[in-house]
Structure 1
Amino acid sequence: MASSTPASPLSPSPEAPLLLTGLTTAQIEEFVAALGLPRYRGRQVADWIYRRNAGSFEEMTDLPRALRHQLAAVASVGRPEVVARTVDADGTTKYLVRLGDGQTVECVWLPYREWSSVCLSTQVGCPMACAFCATGRGGFARNLSAGEIVAQFLLARAHAPCPVTHAVFMGMGEPLLNTSAVLQALHLLNSECGIGARNLTLSTVGIVPGIQRLAREKLQINLALSLHAPDDETRARFMPVAQHFPLPVVLAALRDYTAATHRRVTLEYLLIAGVNDSPAHADRLADLVLGKKEEGGPLLAVVNLIPYNETEARFRRPSEEGIRRFMARLKQRGVAVTRRLERGETIAAACGQLRREAASDAPGARPRRSPRRRGTAVART
């Protein structure tokens, strides 16, 4: 039987239109060349997608109309559909978007005084099942592709009233359980969308093999650990990952990461009333950051305190006095500490909330208890 050469994954296929978001400029050039077109047309298409916010070929007005129709017959830009949109008084805008297979994820545009950012999801749902997280209670469906991750950024940027300068991988899902797609998305945001590497932040619950891979890549991004407790016993109460990756192992991986990249890491600490917010917890956290000489001394890190955003979970937010007292104790011990600037105080801002609300409003869904809405929109809580 005669052998045949398999088609290139970038070859046009009417049965399965190619999603162009997620491809590099060079790959889009290859795709248009396979259509018999000049490669510069591919550069034009990439420029429209990644830098000029086009959501369809019809918007690419410097392409001949016949070419736009030709492209639309075999490819798609890959922009998701907006299912729901909520806007806070501070301008924070949360989108629930529907992907090509009908699954939904969230992304958030976050305005600050001197910059703005987009919070991106990396999975449909999340398998980590953290007890305080709205996303985890919805279960896990699948990983997102690099294109689906970048498409969230492009959608939010297209609607933003000012330039978007940052992106954070802190939305639905655990980025380091989808490492290949996340790394590809990081490269695309940097090289195609023009976001500086040091304006990109990835947050993980502590997936050690993923941290080790990031260390090998030596990217100049920001790495954040969702720590949330200063010891494994407390952490395991609400983060099942602690049973697989205990803190000594995670911290060793972080030390290797900082040694390889010379980048300071952020330790995200979700303050939960009566669970991890006592003076003793503050002291144990300080001990963990300052380290012992035989462990390598102080960890190159800053602690970022995040007052809990109440969802349908059983946990509660500490008082303002308790938050200030915890922060003051860390400073007294010589630990670098900041408090998360909260956004989205009047909307379902924490990860997974809007998606759960949309699901509960569907016909036949069980009624839900309305959460007290306060903002930690930029954190995967």
Structure 2
Amino acid sequence: MLTDIKSLTREQVESQFKAWNEPAFRVAQLLDWLYARRVTTWDAMTNLPKTLREKLREKFSLNTLELVRKQGSDDTTQKFLWKLADGQLIESVLIPARPALYGEASDRHTLCISTQVGCAYGCKFCASGLDGWKRNLGVHEIVEQVLAVERWSATESLKCSVSSVQSENPGGLKTENLKLETRPPARLISNLVIMGMGEPLANYD
């Protein structure tokens, strides 16, 4: 099984690229595609040479989470149910700040992420651990929760933008009037917290 590229530190990526005799600036390009532009395929990394993309494809995987279900309204907490590559399910929860609580506008968004599948602690007051503990999440599975929610946000923003243009052009929307966005999408998440289900320090490594 191939190692997911998102499991590697920057230093590990630099070491691999050095072994491949790739110039150092390629590392920054790769990380930009992964974490700023948040692409999900090697072919989307268009400023990387095709030969390098093939090396990456043969050496590493680029897995994503499958969104099974999302609950919540547009302006409140959003709960995401994700399916992992092995079929296990985990949750992430996006919590927007409520300006009414602070008396001023706020664009703070906190994402609560999972670090384990299930829970081994069996607290009697909590239903989350009824099925027991399955396994720890890998680094890439933890990181991918953040990236997946950011992708969802970018998609929702694009839908809103298209709807706005359509409302301003009731006679029809001409695709030639739409400009493709070449900049990385804006970041939504400003804070990260760890899901209370399970024990984060049990997956410290």
TM score, norm. by length of structure 2: 0.71
Greater displacement, 31-40 / 166-175: 31-40
Tell me the equivalent position of 2:116. Answer: 123
User: 1:187-218, CA deviations, whole angstroms, 9 ceiling, x for partnerless residues?
Assistant: xxxxxxxxxxxxxxxxxxxxxxxxxxxxxxxx
Q: Confirm whether residue 56 of structure 1 aligns to residue 41 of structure 2.
A: yes
SS at match of 1:72: helix
State the 1:152 CA deviation.
0.8
Q: Which residue of 2 aligns with 1:341?
A: none
Name the counterpart of 1:104.
89
User: Aligned-residue CA RMSD in angstroms?
Assistant: 2.1
Match of 1:92 among 77, 84, 106: 77
* CA distance in structure 1 between the aligned counterparts of 2:18 and 2:69, rounded to whole angstroms: 38
The residue number in structure 1 matching 2:60 is 75
Separation in 2 of the partners of 1:136 and 1:172? 7
Give the distance between the partners of 1:82 and 1:43, measured in 2 at CA: 29
Q: Identity of counterpart residues, as a percentage?
A: 38
Deviations 1:28-68 (A, max 9, x none): 12223333433322221122212222222222222234432
Q: Which of 173, 179, 186 is residue 198 of structure 2 equivalent to?
A: 173
1:133 paired with 2:126, answer yes
Cα deviations across residues 121-149 of structure 1 (Å, max 9, x unaligned)?
01100011122323211211011122221
1:29 paired with 2:14, answer: yes
Match of 1:144 among 137, 144, 168: 137
Query: How far has the Cα of 1:179 moved from its partner?
Result: 1.7
Alpha-carbon distance in 2 for matches of 1:18, 1:44: 20
Q: Are 1:84 and 1:96, in contact at CA under 8 Å, matched by a contact in 2?
A: yes
Q: Is the 8 A contact 1:122 1:175 kept in 2?
A: yes
* Off by >4 Å, runs of 4+ in structure 1: none
1:329-344, aligned counterparts within 5 Å? none
> How far apart, in 2, do the equivalents of 1:81 and 1:69 lie?
25
Deviation (angstroms), 1:171? 4.9
Name 1:42's counterpart in structure 2: 27
Change (3 A) 1:17 1:39: farther
Counterpart of 1:155?
148
Deviates more, 1:41-50 or 1:89-98: 89-98
* Residues 66 and 91 of structure 1: CA distance in aligned 2, closer, same or farther (over 3 Å): farther
Aligned in 2, Cα 1:101/1:33: closer, same or farther, shift over 3 Å?
A: farther
How far, CA to CA, are the matches of 1:40 and 1:30 in structure 2? 13
The alpha-carbon distance between structure 1 residues 152 and 129, as it changes in their structure 2 partners (threshold 3 A), is same
Trace 1:1-381 onto structure 2 (pairs within 5 A): 16-112=1-97, 113-160=106-153, 161=157, 163-180=188-205
What is the aligned residue count?
A: 165
Q: Which amino acid aligns with 2:190?
A: T
Task: Deviation per CA, 1:255-302: give whole Å up to 9, x if none.
Answer: xxxxxxxxxxxxxxxxxxxxxxxxxxxxxxxxxxxxxxxxxxxxxxxx
What's the secondary structure of 1:168's corresponding residue? strand
Q: Distance in 2 between matches of 1:121 and 1:107?
A: 6
Aligned to 1:302: none
Decide which structure has the larger Cα Rg and report it: 1
Quick one: distance in 2 between partners of 1:118 and 1:145? 18
Distance 1:101 1:62, change over 3 A: same
Deviation at 1:20, TM superposition (A): 1.2
For 1:173, what is the secondary structure of its paired residue? coil
Asked if 2 retains the 8 angstrom alpha-carbon contact of 1:107 and 1:171, the reply is: no
Q: Aligned partner of 1:130: which letter?
A: C
- 2:173 corresponds to: none
Q: Which has the higher contact order (CA 8 A, sep 6+)?
A: 2
Judge conservation of contact 1:115–1:164 (CA < 8 Å) in 2.
yes
